[in-house]
Amino acid sequence: MPLMNTKAMFDQAYKHGYAIGAFNVNNMEIIQGIVEAATEEKAPLILQVSKGARNYANPVYLQKMVEAAEKVSGLPIALHLDHGDSFELCKSCIDGGFTSVMIDGSALSYEDNVALTKKVVEYAHDTTNHPYITVEGELGTLAGIEDEVSHAVGSYTRPEEVIDFVTKTGVDSLAIAIGTSHGAYKFKPEQCTRDENGVLVPPPLRFDILEAVSEKLPGFPIVLHGSSSVPQEFVQIINANGGKMPDAVGIPEAQLRKAATMSVCKINIDSDLRLGCTAGIRKHFAEHPEHFDPRQYLGDARANIKKVVKHKLTEVLGCAGKADEIIAKYNEMNK
């Protein structure tokens, strides 16, 4: 089946209390690791490309690899632009064959965010020259750094704004800020407590905000960015093999699972893939300093990515085994 937008995915996810994993991709091994895991678990996927990934790998390469992933796996897959920062970038992705885009106007004034988001939605939903493309907007800002997205200080989403924003813009989903953060250093040590092993424990997510947003937008799909959990297994491997990542900490997976049972239909994961990849490569070179064939060390990186994704699909997102129901819903919507 062709790459799809996120309508059928979010319809089923909301009804049945799970979330779709939105995994950032930058190269072939990352795509392969994600798709191999999802194929074994029969799970839907959103493969998302950031502006930085487009600059690194060329959007044509990335798009063709994602199309190949769909052909090989037969899974329901959406190709999504992550953190589009301009109408021109979103338009380029839509015209190039992406099936979903995010326009991130969260750094703008509320009025300018509405205006920019509405402009993207009007183009994306106009089916004169392309299929219906789903659009994700954002209210509130996440702290942290990831690719070209950087905010020193985050700001929580204001529930009183969401009805007005969704009504005026026509977005298909909404990313909100409830305490997640970009990157592998999501919280400063002073924001956390420490457990009996000295590991940082981050502050809890603001479920009160999520609940308030859900009450105002019943049935509407919500998105969480900055939702990597920063597996300490990989942090320790990295630090034991020449890395330096003190106090790297992420979002507890139990909180993400709770969010997925509520109105959160899309959970973004990037840093955990990077950590798995880096841990595999660092450990490989420590154990095999004579190796120089990229297939050897990138194979270990790919295996770690697959491990991360299988765990997320089954234990965190709850979308393992949901591919067939989403394909059926997609076919029903597109009769």
List Cβ neighbours of 102 (8 Å cut-off, separation of 6 or more): 80, 81, 82, 83, 84, 135, 136, 137, 138, 175
- For residues 11, 13, 17, 21, the Cα torsion angle rounded to the nearest 10 degrees is -160
**Which amino acid belongs to residue 16?**
H
Q: How many domains does the chain have?
A: 1
Q: Is 260 helix (H, G, I), strand (E, B) or coil?
A: helix
Q: How far apart are CA 257 and CA 255, in angstroms?
A: 5
Domain assignment present for 183: yes
Q: Which residues pair with 173 in a beta bridge?
A: 136
Place of tokens 């840093």: 271
- What does pLDDT average to in each consecutive run of 10 residues of the chain (335 residues)? 95 98 97 98 98 94 97 98 96 97 94 98 97 96 54 73 97 94 71 77 88 97 93 96 90 95 97 97 98 97 98 98 98 93
Q: Supply φ then ψ for residue 288, to 5 degrees.
A: -135, 70
Beta bridge partners of 80: 48, 100
Counting DSSP H helices and E strands in the chain, the numbers are 13, 12
Residue 321: its pLDDT value, please? 98
Judge whether 126 counts as a catalytic residue: no
Closest-CA residue to 44 (of 15, 5, 82): 5
Residue 333: how many CA atoms within 13 Å on its side-chain side? Answer: 16
pLDDT of residue 288: 98
In a domain, 192, yes or no: yes
Domain membership flag for residue 108:
yes
Domain CATH code at residue 186: 3.20.20.70
Q: What is the pLDDT of residue 151?
A: 42
With respect to residue 178, please indicate whether it lies within any of the assigned structural domains: yes
* 14 domain-assigned: yes
Within a domain: 188: yes
Q: Is 23 helix (H, G, I), strand (E, B) or coil?
A: strand
Which residue in 82, 85, 147, 300 is the catalytic one? 82
In this structure, which amino acid lies at residue 135? V
| CB-based contacts of 16, cutoff 8 Å, min separation 6 | 322, 325
Question: How many Cα atoms sit within 13 Å of 95 on the Cβ side?
Answer: 8
Range of the domain at 152: 7-333
Q: Is 293 within a domain?
A: yes
Q: Is residue 1 part of a domain?
A: no
Global confidence as pTM: 0.93
